Amino acid sequence: MSRIAVTGGAGRLGRSVVRALAEAGHEVVSIDRTSAEGLPARQLDLDLLDAAATRQAFARIAPDAVVHLAAIAVPGSRPDFEIFDINTRLLWSVLEGALAAGAGALLVASSPTVIGYGAPSGWEPAYLPLDEAHPVAPWNGYATSKAAIEEIVRMAVRRDGHRARFGVFRPCYVIAPEEWAGAPTQQGHTVAERLADPALSAVALFNYLDARDAGDFVTAWLDHAEDVPNGAVFFVGAPDALVAAPTAEALATHVPETAGAAAALPGTAAVFSSARAERLLGWRARRTWRTELDAPPSRPDPLRSAEAPHA
């Protein structure tokens, strides 16, 4: 058992990460400026932008490892310069506090948006599925803050890699357990509404991830932090796309600039590959919208009918 500090542990992703870590037998401390009911963790109310207070808090907690999720998580929710400023300052504060307290591992949440899809002046994938080797091209303050965070982690590997392990993950669009049952998702639509109107998810190339699977990824990374390359970046997503139609067909219809590369995607495959997480950590998402959704999509799912046409 280890003592793990989770920043942003009261958030949409954090709650499931805290639960997964506690279920795996870790002692968990959530550091957040809000709290969540029923979390199996000690909860510390702290503004992580206060670097001195953060340093003191980490010194008191003395975590073996830190999972850094706290951020302004919604692109466009504040002016770009503010999101960039807050998200990068949060990482500096947590990085220096965690290292000063002797933490041996730090896993940081980035975002698939670093890739740059949806840029108003155009974007085309170099290839599909997107993997960690694909070039990044962030086009807003949020995505640029995440690209900067990834660079800060690379710096930390060079500066501190002899005494700590670092990792970055890019969680796809997180769907918390209550959202399968009809609660609104991060951008304010239910999962069923997203499936009924593919344009809603097309802007993120139909990426998604069950929050509990994200929790399992974090647990797997902590288990293997010593064995994987220091600073490794991981896409973490469901194995399929959040759309009822075959992925290549949905991309050709809703994101025509990807049509050429999309032909390489078989069936319902995700646009984002989590193969590295599977290869290095043995992690694979276990839940998909097809297994978790309480109410079926309001339009017929052509794949399901194709799979069982004469049932």
- What Rg do the C-alpha atoms of the chain give, in angstroms? 19
Of 217, 184, 209, residue with least CA distance to 271? 209
Residue 34 found at the interface with ligand NAD (CB under 6 A):
yes
Residue 173 found at the interface with ligand NAD (CB under 6 A):
yes
Q: Which stretch binds ligand NAD (CB under 6 A): 10-18, 95-103, 253-261, 278-286?
A: 10-18
Rounded CA-CA distance 143/141 in Å is 6
> Between 188 and 309, whose beta carbon lies closer to ligand NAD?
188
Sketch the per residue contact string, 52 through 81, with ligand NAD: x for CB under 6 A, - otherwise: -----------------xxx-x--------
> Between 248 and 287, whose beta carbon lies closer to ligand NAD?
287
Q: Does the annotation count 208 as an active-site position?
A: no
Q: How far is the first Cα of the chain from the last one, in angstroms, to the nearest whole number?
A: 49
Residue 11 found at the interface with ligand NAD (CB under 6 A):
yes
Give, as ranges, the residues between 105 and 144 that touch ligand NAD (CB under 6 A): 109, 111
Phi-psi region of 286 (alpha: psi -120 to 50; beta: other; left: phi over 0): alpha
Size of the site for ligand NAD (CB under 6 A): 24
- Indicate which residues carry an active-site annotation: 142
Return residues touching ligand NAD (CB under 6 A). Answer: 8, 10-14, 32-34, 46-49, 69-71, 73, 90, 109, 111, 171, 173-174, 186
